[in-house]
Amino acid sequence: MAQLLECLVDQSSLGNGQSTGRLVSCKDPQERFRQQCPQEFSGGMPVLDYILKFERGCYFVPLTGRDVEEKLRHFVDGLRPTLKHDVRLAEPTDYRAAVNKDQRSEQDWKETDEERQSKRWKEIDEERQAFQNKDRRQSKRPNNNQQMS
């Protein structure tokens, strides 16, 4: 629906083929592809999905698939920045070593994130309990400002 709206807005141009510039032209195939597959360009694709897509791409680009060094270079260049850094530090000599390091690195990052999240929730729970205990102590104290009858 949004793409249809963008196409309609692009058709109402300023003249001479100039669009208003507010929306992305739906005629540009690269932009249309990025809109249809935003996960691939945001770095959110899991490593196994990336490996499968890369292998499929190597089938269609035989020059990359046959040359071991080119295949390794293209594979590492397509990784997320954090994983790319870890793989490059390991200095893999072949494609399989890079894939193994990439999978281990992703698992390490997941474990780090899980640990960080669990610590964050633990701190939040401790703060909540401290706040509740503080409220209980304040409610037990008698109010000295009340007039006695």
pLDDT at 133: 79
12-71 pLDDT, tens digit per residue, is 444 444 444 445 455 666 566 556 554 454 466 888 898 899 888 888 888 777 888 888
Q: Over the stretch 65-92, which tens digit does the pLDDT of each residue have?
A: 788 888 888 889 888 888 888 888 888 8
Which pLDDT score, from 0 to 100, does residue 6 have? 59
CA distance 24 to 32: 9
d(CA 48, CA 33): 21
Most confidently modeled range among 33-37, 112-116, 135-139:
112-116
* Residues paired with 114 in a beta bridge: none
Element (H, E) at 147: none
Long-range (24+ apart) CB contacts under 8 A made by 18-23 are none
Quickly tell me which residue has 């293209």 as its tokens: 74
Supply angle C-alpha 64, 65, 70, rounded to 5. 40
Region class of 43: left (phi > 0), else alpha (psi between -120 and 50), else beta: left
Strand partners, 18: 15
